Structures are given as structure tokens and as C-alpha cells.
């Protein structure tokens, strides 16, 4: 994979997607090579034009000979499957370019699992030498947020006419956004939407949940990605954000925090699995059934089970 | 509280909201009285008219002298705070009726925590003798889904003109919905939205994620809650769903599954807390920092830490 074999890369990605037993050894082997890429997340509601924006950013980066890995994370809802497939077909303009690698990730139903698999795929793309990794989520809900946590810069794309953008924004996405884009900015609702987003960005910037490690108020950009209008400005803005993060040391600090969170999440997931097995065992299973049939309450059961679940060395 | 003292009920709810140390004893004491209420969840995007629907259902139930507890779960986003407050003011038509108890739950930021607190409040209202508990969520995202898991019947409210309803529906909400309502059904987009939802409901009914414990295809109802049109039909539909669940034994089986899940979630939350403390300790903290600064990879660290975290008896 490190020598540019795309088939090898695709095979390793499949290990990450399927969480095979070989994955820990794979990730250990690529780890020394995995920190070079800059990761940009692109999210927003269905139909906002995210894939077109990813396509334009890719073209701009390729014009400078920078290599680009693209991960498109599909939503778990089966109803948008067709749209996603269409997006991928549009991206085939880059399909024959050896400086671009495109992979769609399907949801496995396990939300945390999808974000973790995406994290491993991003690391594989970085280790394969791609300078930029663009992560696009078409999902709605928690997956989107978890996937966006993988990004160094998060771009949230809106489109005029999709209802009250700020009110329908998922909780937490406001805090995660580094750049707002109003795409299809020639539509009539665009100025109002931009004003609304600017107000929300300013509230966020001056509010209690703002990140204070860099001085950055989320800018609101207008694009018409179909005709490439505004996309160069978007790439410039992403670069400005990157430079600020790098110069201030915030990039390294945020990545360190992200790695800590990944480890905690992995261990917590394993522990939850152990808990399921312990609760299924005869000694605790009886108490679980007493709760299920209403014989005892939740807290009484938790008190009875708690001493049996000490988290100590084996 | 059991003798109808509303102030006592309000105080106990505050214990549930604030997760005080008295809560386990409180929930143990009310447990024998807590299974009589039927719980209806009402969710949907902001502005769909959920509160008006809750208000009309309450009026219909009160006309039959049934008592109604209402829990309105506020979104975690600060941007919709105003709307929620407005909704509560509108509900004051019932504020002087001793057969109705209304409580707003504010998000504490901890999403799982809010759903758990709401679950305890529902149990307190049931123990206080309310025959029906209506849980309204104005939130978007995971909280909404977690809160809807508390309901015996889940109603999802849509409004024409709020974009592609099915595409923007949170993953998991489709599976959780028992009744779809298109409110403000006099608007021009209503027939199209109803057709879209009927199609989605039918796909769900015939698809792999359908619940097979009862034969129920999610109906799509039209309401104009402002003028009370369709709300009696909605209550009838909720009752038909309830009767089906009760007659088939699915209600008791679902409630048992819910109680098992509540216990697992409570214990998993406690375990995750223990994990955080263990990882902060000197012996494991070193490995966490090796991951944070990139010295070792995630899986190598997990392998090193795993043996230190056996889930055994204390």
C-alpha cells in the first residue's frame, strides 16, 4: 500500500470496514506513517450539494498536484441510498486519476462502529500518502457528529429553502463547525440564510461553548458549486483555518485529545460488550429478569449488581 | 405525592432532574405504583405543532376525566429556547386543572442523562396516578430517539414545506414511529408529504427492520391541530395501537425489554465512569498519553490496557 498499490489500499480498507481480526496488526504497522494528511469534514442536509463541493475542492487540489483521499460515509437510513450512489457516480470524473482515491462507507447499523471504521480508513489513506483527506457525511444524526470529530477542519453546507437552518441543526454541530457554506447561493433565500448563520456563528463565538484555543469566528461563505463559484474562496478559508491551527499548536493539541477520546471509546465499547456477557450469566441474569418483569426497580438492581462488576486487574 | 400533593410530586421530579443521592430510595419507594400509565411520545421537527397536538389530546382525554401528565423535553440547542417557552405558555389552558400536570425538562448537556431523567419522571407521574403520560420532545438528534424509547406509542409529527421529510428523518426514528401525523394539513404540500410518508411506512412495514410482534403498518393521519381537525382520529388511532399491543402481549414484552435496556444503560454509564477514573490513574495514564502524543497506536494501547480492566467481582 505504501508503494502506491491501490488494490492493496482497498483491501486494507475492507479490513477496517469489516473489523477483521487482522485490523489491530494492520493499524499498528501503518501507524508510523499515518499523521501527514490534513482531514477536512464536509457535512450538511441531503441535497445541499456536498458531493459537488467535494468534487470542486478535489479539482482545485489536483491542479496543484496535491493528492486527495475521499471517504463518503453513507447514512444508515436506506431511503437515501440512491442519492448517495448518484453522488459517487458524479465523482467518477476523478476515478481514473491516480492522485485521487474514493471510498464509500456504508453504515453497519452500529453508529459508533461506523465512526471508528471511518477513523481507521482516514488513517490508512494518510499512511498511503494522500496529502488531503476529505470526509463527506450524508448522514443525519449522531453518526454525522461522530464522523465530523475526525476532521481537522469541519465545513457545514446549507442550501436556501431547506427550512430554518439553525433550528434544525443537530445539537453539537454548531460547536463543531469551522466553516459555514451556503451553496446554491443564487437562490432567493440565500441572503437571509447567510445572515441567520452569521448571527448564529457570532453567538457561538461569544458564547460559553466556543473553543478558545484559537481565535476563529466561523465564517459564512457563499458558493455555487455547480459553476465553481466560491469554491476557491472555500479552499483558501480552509487553508487559513489550517494555518491558524498549526501556528498556534492547537492542531496538535486537538489531535492528541481526539486520540485520547478514540482510546476511551474503544475501551468503553469493549467494556460494554463484557457487561452484556456478564449480565447474561446465571448469577446476574436473575436480577436482570427481576427488573424486566417489574419485581424490583432499576436502582435496587444496580445496587445489587454493582459490587459484582468491579473494574480491577484480572 | 400518592395522595395528590402536586408540590410533593414537583419536588420528587426535581430529585430526578438533578440526579440527587436520594433518587434511588425515591424510585424504590414509588416502584410498586409505577406501571399504570400509558406513555405516548410525540416528536417531530421544530414548528410542526407538537405542543398544540399535545394540548388537543389533553383536552380530549380530560373530557373523559382521564388524568394526564405531560413531560416536555427541551432541546439541548440554545437557539430554540424561546419557542419552547412559548409552547409552555400556550399549554397554560390546562395549568389550573388538577387532572393535568405539566413539566418541562431542560437538557443538561448529557444526552443519555436527560433520557434517563425523563424515564424517572415518567415513572413518578405514573406512580402519582396519572392515567396517561404524554412525552413531547422538541429536540433534534439522539436525545429525541432515546426519549422516544420510553413511549408505548410513538407519534411523529410532520408539517408540509419542511423539506424532504423522509430523507431528513433521523436514522432510527422511522423504526420507532407508530403513528405519522401531517399537521397543518391544509397547506399545499400536504398530499405529497402524506403520500411520501405512506410509501416510507409501507417500505418499513415490509422491510427487515419491522417489528413483528404486532401486525401494525404505521398509519399516516392528517391534522389541523389549531382547529382541532383530526385530533380525535389521532387519539382513536393511539388507542387502537394500545389495544393491539395489550391484546397481543407485546406491550408487556416491550416494557420488559425497555427495563432490561434501562438497567444495561445505567450499569454501562457507571462502568464508563469507572473507566475514566482508571485511565486517569498513574499506571494506565502513561499509556493514554503515549496514544495522545502518537508514540503508539490505538490498538496496541488497548491490548496493553485490556488485561488491567477485567470485569470481575470485587
Nearest Cβ partner for B24 among A75, A172, A299: A299
CA distance A261 to chain B (A): 9
Using a CB-CB cut-off of 8 Å, the residues of chain A touching B162 are 163
Q: Is B278 on the interface with A (CB under 8 A)?
A: yes
Closest Cα partner for A179 from A145, A148, A217?
Answer: A217
Show the cell assigned to A114: 461506523
Q: How far apart are CA A77 and CA A176, in angstroms?
A: 23
CA distance B248 to chain A (A): 17
pLDDT for A149 equals 87
pLDDT tens, residue by residue, B55-94: 999 999 999 999 999 998 865 444 333 344 445 555 667 7
Sorted by where each starts, the structural domains of chain A and their CATH numbers stand as 6-248 (3.40.50.300)
- For chain A, the distance separating the N- and C-terminal CA atoms, rounded to the nearest angstrom, is 38
Instruction: Give the phi and the psi of residue B66 in degrees, each rounded to 5.
Output: -75, 140
Closest Cα partner for A61 from A215, A258, A242, A216?
Answer: A242
Q: Is B27 on the interface with A (CB under 8 A)?
A: yes
Q: How far apart are CA A118 and CA A73, in angstroms?
A: 8
Q: How far apart are CA B186 and CA A50, in angstroms?
A: 33
Helices A282-292 and A298-305, axial angle in degrees (round to 10): 170
Using a CB-CB cut-off of 8 Å, the residues of chain B touching A79 are 166-167, 169, 174, 200, 203
Q: Where is B30: in which H helix or E strand? A: helix B23-30
Q: How far apart are CA B303 and CA A231, in angstroms?
A: 44
Q: How far apart are CA A216 and CA A247, in angstroms?
A: 13
Model-wide pTM > 0.95: no
CB contact under 8 A, A164 and B28: no
CA distance B309 to chain A (A): 5
CA distance A69 to chain B (A): 21
Per-residue burial over A213-229, b = 16 or more CB atoms within 10 Å of its CB, e = otherwise:
ebebebbbbbbbbeeee
Nearest Cβ partner for A311 among B257, B271, B300: B271
pLDDT for A83 equals 41
Hey, which residues 157-186 in chain B have their CB within 8 Å of chain A? 161-164, 166-172, 174
The position carrying cell 498513574 is: B282
Nearest Cβ partner for A297 among B28, B164, B167: B28
CA distance B108 to chain A (A): 12
Q: Is A271 helix (H, G, I), strand (E, B) or coil?
A: helix
Q: Is A301 on the interface with B (CB under 8 A)?
A: yes
pLDDT for B167 equals 61
Hey, which residues 63-92 in chain A have their CB within 8 Å of chain B? 75-80, 83
Enumerate the β-bridge partners of residue A153: A40
pLDDT in tens, chain A (314 residues): 989 899 999 999 999 988 889 999 999 999 999 778 999 999 987 788 998 999 999 999 999 999 999 998 865 444 333 344 445 555 667 777 889 999 888 655 444 577 888 999 999 999 999 999 999 987 556 667 788 889 999 999 999 986 666 665 666 777 889 999 999 999 999 999 999 999 999 988 998 888 889 999 999 999 999 999 999 999 999 999 999 999 999 999 999 999 998 999 889 888 888 888 888 887 889 999 999 999 999 999 999 998 888 776 64
Q: Where is B40: in which H helix or E strand? A: strand B38-43
Show the cell assigned to B297: 497506536
Is the separation of the CB atoms in A131 and A67 below 8 Å? yes
pLDDT tens, residue by residue, B177-224: 999 999 999 999 999 999 999 999 998 899 888 888 999 999 999 999
pLDDT for B18 equals 85
Is the separation of the CB atoms in A126 and A38 below 8 Å? no
Mean pLDDT, chain B cut into blocks of 10 residues (314 residues total): 92 90 94 90 87 94 96 59 47 78 71 78 96 84 78 93 65 84 94 92 89 94 95 98 97 93 89 87 89 93 86 62
Amino acid at each position: 500500500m505504501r508503494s502506491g498499490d491501490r488494490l492493496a489500499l482497498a483491501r486494507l480498507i475492507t479490513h477496517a470496514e469489516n473489523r477483521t481480526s487482522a485490523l489491530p496488526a494492520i493499524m499498528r504497522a501503518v501507524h508510523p506513517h499515518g499523521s501527514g494528511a490534513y482531514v477536512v469534514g464536509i457535512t450538511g442536509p441531503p441535497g445541499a450539494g456536498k458531493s459537488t463541493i467535494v468534487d470542486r475542492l478535489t479539482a482545485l487540489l489536483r491542479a496543484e498536484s496535491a493528492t486527495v483521499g475521499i471517504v463518503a460515509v453513507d447514512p444508515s437510513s436506506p431511503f437515501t441510498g440512491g442519492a448517495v450512489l448518484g453522488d459517487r457516480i458524479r465523482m467518477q470524473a476523478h476515478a481514473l486519476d491516480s492522485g485521487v482515491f474514493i471510498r464509500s462507507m456504508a453504515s453497519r447499523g452500529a453508529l459508533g462502529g461506523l465512526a471508528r471504521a471511518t477513523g481507521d480508513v482516514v488513517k490508512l489513506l494518510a499512511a498511503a500518502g494522500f496529502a488531503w483527506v476529505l470526509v463527506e457525511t450524508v448522514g443525519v444524526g449522531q453518526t454525522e457528529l461522530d464522523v465530523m470529530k475526525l476532521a481537522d477542519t469541519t465545513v457545514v453546507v446549507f442550501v436556501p429553502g431547506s427550512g430554518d437552518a439553525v433550528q434544525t441543526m443537530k445539537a453539537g454541530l454548531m460547536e463543531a463547525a469551522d466553516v459555514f457554506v451556503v451553496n446554491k447561493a443564487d437562490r432567493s433565500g440565500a441572503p437571509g440564510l447567510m445572515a441567520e448563520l452569521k448571527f448564529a456563528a457570532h453567538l457561538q463565538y461569544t458564547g460559553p461553548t466556543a473553543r478558545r484555543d484559537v481565535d476563529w469566528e466561523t465564517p459564512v461563505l457563499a458558493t455555487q458549486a455547480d459553476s465553481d463559484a466560491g469554491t476557491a474562496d472555500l479552499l483558501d478559508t480552509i487553508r487559513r483555518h489550517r494555518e491558524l491551527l498549526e501556528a498556534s499548536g492547537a492542531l496538535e493539541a486537538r489531535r492528541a485529545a481526539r486520540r485520547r477520546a478514540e482510546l476511551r471509546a474503544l475501551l468503553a465499547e469493549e467494556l460494554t460488550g463484557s457487561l452484556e456477557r456478564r449480565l447474561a450469566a446465571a448469577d446476574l441474569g436473575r436480577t436482570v429478569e427481576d427488573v424486566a418483569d417489574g419485581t424490583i426497580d432499576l436502582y435496587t438492581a444496580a445496587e445489587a449488581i454493582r459490587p459484582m462488576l468491579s473494574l480491577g486487574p484480572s
